Structure 1
Amino acid sequence: MTKGIKIVTIGGGSSYTPELVEGFIKRYDELPIRELWLVDIPAGEEKLNIVGALAKRMVEKAGLPIEVHLTLDRREALKGADFVTTQFRVGLLDARAKDERIPLKNNVIGQETNGPGGLFKGLRTIPVILDICKDIEELCPDAWLVNFTNPAGMVTEAVLRYSNIKKVVGLCNVPVGIKMGIAQALDVTSDRIHVDFAGLNHMVYGLDVYLDGVSILDEVIEKLANPDHSMTMKNIAALGWELDFLRGLKAIPCPYHRYYYKTSEMLEEELEAAATKGTRAEVVKQVEKELFELYKDPELAIKPPQLEQRGGAYYSDAACNLINSIYNDKRDIQPVNTRNNGAIASIADDSAVEVNCIITKDGPKPISVGDLPVAVRGLVQQIKSFERVAAEAAVTGDYHTALLAMTINPLVPSDKIGKQILDEMLEAHKEYLPQFFQKVEM
């Protein structure tokens, strides 16, 4: 009898966890999980207990021998793990609300993973993920780290550059959502659709689209301009695209590209939303409150459909498919964040990219796309520069590097405004940014 697989989920008290558990239950025949450890911090203990109890009921209902453990002791959980998934939010949703409101006050887009908000989420998250990496090296050196924590591209970049962990994959539900959206728009099943994805996390393009192996890019572009097929996400306003622009682009943008190609409209939309119904973080807080009320119900033993109101639909499928394919050496194609290794010619080999990969027992093997089209190459390279400089700032706690990262981001209009936002956000997040405030000992 095999000992079964041990999976550790850091940020186990997340509202997404039931979706992950559902994904593991569905795949149990191929992925015989023996132990699932849900780990959180003291501030998340109440949520961990609620989600953990639901996870146990789900496993019991499925009649599977998966042991679900809940703990605040990360090191205890990590011992001998086969896979470690990370889905945490440093500073919780209150920090996200500041990431959204402070830039807006300065007339700049405030968003979780883009612009100043993305920078600060990275600055708070990267030291924590690197700390987790040290524990993994010591306690489960053979484990795969599957990171879903945003900004996933920048976090993967930091792990590749500043830790000794090689077995890391960054994961995002955006490409899955695009593929599903295309299938829906064409009224076909998603297994008939293939998309050539290449770019960065939240900056990925569909360079071509195939139905049953035949390219249908032009047809999909025409559909994409129709507001009914805008292929957005719960957290991004479904502002329609200019058809003539898409015809010129000759690629499928991802929902987050609206921040770069429709900056003024998105800013206007965000300012209005913040003034009327609150920022996305404030809306999500309410959604989460309702979800956790549902999760508390001792009769509930499935993932409730209301979870889809969060922005992370298809997350469990992405995470569970990836783990399943590594474990079973499936050699199927999935878009993930991994070391470029020459797949995209215009990005450094040692940088993280989001690209279609063949998933093997030795991890993702990126599929080469050559150079990105000249029309998108510059923006992708600019965001990669931003991610690299931001990761360096997170590791060093250097103020000038942080200001540089802030200012080279295309959503920040000037160094002066960048400095204003940086200073205000450093102060607002002081508790979670010790690297910027440590006294230098002489």
Structure 2
Amino acid sequence: MKKQIITVAGGGSTYTPGIIQAVLHGQNRLPVSEIRLYDIDATRNENMYLIIQYMLEQQGFSNIQVKQTANPEEAFTNADFIFSQIRVGGLTMREKDEKIPLKYGLVGQETCGLGGFAYGLRSIGPLLELVGFVQKYAPEAWILNYTNPETIISEAVRRQYPGIRMINVCDMTIGIEDTLAKNYGYDRDNWIATYYGLNHFGWYTKIYDKSLKRDIMPELLEKLQTQEIKEEDPSWNRAFNMIRFMVQQFPDNIPNNYLEYYFYPDMYVNYADPNYTRANTIMDGRERKTHEMAEKIRNKVEGDILDFYFGVHGVYIVDIAAALLNDEKKRFMLIVENKGAIPNLRADAVVEVPAYVGATGVEAIRLSAIGDFHKGLMEAQVAAEKLLVDAYFENSYQKALQAFTLNQTVPNATVAKQVLDEMIKANEAYWPELNK
């Protein structure tokens, strides 16, 4: 089998080691000759280059070449797969996404609420530019996109590049399933899950366990009613136990934990610290630790240097790449244009549903019609996201205001306008000009 060239766009990300670790473990299914780290932040990319090169040497993969670059031609020419995880504006802008809405008593979060919309408007242009580079330098490559917020990004790319070889990926469903399985005594490898929604905005309707030969959804719902979920990280412990709280209120399905921001924004605002948000936690944790590891390698410190929790992030994206390469027809939760997958939802919605992946790409599974409660929530969110993408392409302040007002974390147009106007100033270097 031909060895592949993989480019990681956003190579300086602290998630890159997890992706590379999954690549190394998957050499039988996804053999690789070269890894390219592409990032406009030279310092972060240099640090990650040192870490990845060290990983390869420590694990006996000196036959795999690793390069770093900020030049798109060098990054993408002849690449087979592009793993995109760019974060436009970095953690500095994420901090503003989280803190500005909290000033107004609204949810401050990187992908949900008005923080997510700010991040979306900031990310569309650079992601479209990246897709253009890939079209120019590697038109046969597959782009596997982790860049958030996924449904907004996917909607924008779909409009400008309707035939692009791009799969939008989110590992949150895998994280939820892993957590449920670990806490309640199951093996997730035996699960076939049915789920529908938008990115970070959906519900499980069925989880079939192949070893038990039955749908275990009823017993999972019962366990969620009565048994606490335990996670080491306090913020994730709270997030996953919000699933339990939502099931106690709405007991028919297992929700994505991110729905707490839409169902109970008041609870989140009361819980959140407006002066120290998730961005600050990451800056003081994962980011600092990554920099320290790179410094140790740079200074040739001996001993155990690498200290990462690799998680499911890398495994998921590598599994999808292997399924494409080997025509595996493997099932994943993916973000796709609806086109009837949810039959009673608008066809041009960008939805997250089960799909099979093989050599020709993605084949979404057609589901049953959904009920009015979920349908109504999704339709409002889809409309708000489409208005936001309209605002980008039309340079329209009015469309942006409509999107912000319709966002389901926002109680009225007055506060929507206040946050929008402050976000325009904060994102002056990133957003398109919005004309009134």
Q: TM-score, normalised by structure 1?
A: 0.91
Identity of aligned residues (%): 29
Alpha carbons of structure 1 residues 3 and 331: separation in structure 2 relative to 1, 3 Å:
closer
1:98 aligned residue = 96
Q: Pick from 68, 71, 74 the counterpart of residue 73 of structure 1.
A: 71
**How many Å apart are 1:230 and its aligned residue?**
7.0
1:61 aligned residue = 58
Summarize deviations over 1:397-417 as a string: whole Å, max 9, x none.
211111111000010111111
* Cα contact 1:196–1:207 (8 A) shared by 2: yes
Q: Which amino acid in structure 1 is aligned with residue 18 of structure 2?
A: E
Q: Which amino acid in structure 1 is aligned with residue 15 of structure 2?
A: Y
Are 2:304 and 1:304 aligned?
no
Are 2:55 and 1:52 aligned?
no
Alpha carbons of structure 1 residues 220 and 230: separation in structure 2 relative to 1, 3 Å:
farther
* Cα contact 1:124–1:432 (8 A) shared by 2: yes
Summarize deviations over 1:244-284 as a string: whole Å, max 9, x none.
854744111011011122221111111xx234xx0111111
Summarize deviations over 1:171-191 as a string: whole Å, max 9, x none.
111110111112112212211
Distance 2:15 2:235 in 1: 15
Are 2:268 and 1:266 aligned?
yes
Distance 2:164 2:72 in 1: 20
Summarize deviations over 1:284-328 as a string: whole Å, max 9, x none.
1111112321243325788523x46xxxx3111111111111111
In structure 2, runs of 5+ residues without a counterpart are none
Question: Superposition RMSD on alpha carbons, in Å?
Answer: 2.2
Alpha carbons of structure 1 residues 244 and 380: separation in structure 2 relative to 1, 3 Å:
closer
Distance 1:303 1:156 in 2: 34
1:216 aligned residue = 216
Single out whichever of 223-232 and 342-351 deviates more from structure 2.
223-232
1:331-350 superposed matches below 5 A: 331-350=329-348
**How many Å apart are 1:103 and its aligned residue?**
0.7
Distance 1:165 1:6 in 2: 22
3-state SS of paired residue (1:323)? helix
Q: Which amino acid in structure 2 is aligned with residue 5 of structure 1?
A: Q
1:406 aligned residue = 404
Q: Which amino acid in structure 1 is aligned with residue 224 of structure 2?
A: L
Distance 1:157 1:303 in 2: 38
1:384 aligned residue = 382
**How many Å apart are 1:40 and its aligned residue?**
0.5
* Cα contact 2:247–2:255 (8 A) shared by 1: no
* Cα contact 1:5–1:34 (8 A) shared by 2: yes
Aligned residues: 426
Distance 1:375 1:410 in 2: 14
**How many Å apart are 1:168 and its aligned residue?**
1.2
* Cα contact 1:57–1:301 (8 A) shared by 2: no
Distance 1:20 1:359 in 2: 19
Distance 1:233 1:345 in 2: 39
Alpha carbons of structure 1 residues 341 and 303: separation in structure 2 relative to 1, 3 Å:
farther
* Cα contact 1:178–1:231 (8 A) shared by 2: no
1:26-425 superposed matches below 5 A: 26-41=25-40, 44-64=41-61, 65-212=63-210, 213-226=213-226, 228-229=228-229, 237-238=238-239, 239-240=241-242, 246=248, 248-270=250-272, 273-275=273-275, 278-287=276-285, 288-298=287-297, 299=302, 304-305=307-308, 307=309, 313-425=311-423
Single out whichever of 374-383 and 422-431 deviates more from structure 2.
374-383
* Cα contact 1:222–1:243 (8 A) shared by 2: no
* Cα contact 1:223–1:229 (8 A) shared by 2: no
* Cα contact 2:296–2:305 (8 A) shared by 1: no
Q: TM-score, normalised by structure 2?
A: 0.92
Summarize deviations over 1:332-387 as a string: whole Å, max 9, x none.
11111122221111333333211111111111110111222333111112111122
Distance 1:38 1:191 in 2: 31
Distance 1:113 1:228 in 2: 26
* Cα contact 1:156–1:168 (8 A) shared by 2: no
* Cα contact 1:7–1:33 (8 A) shared by 2: yes
* Cα contact 2:243–2:257 (8 A) shared by 1: no
Distance 2:366 2:419 in 1: 39
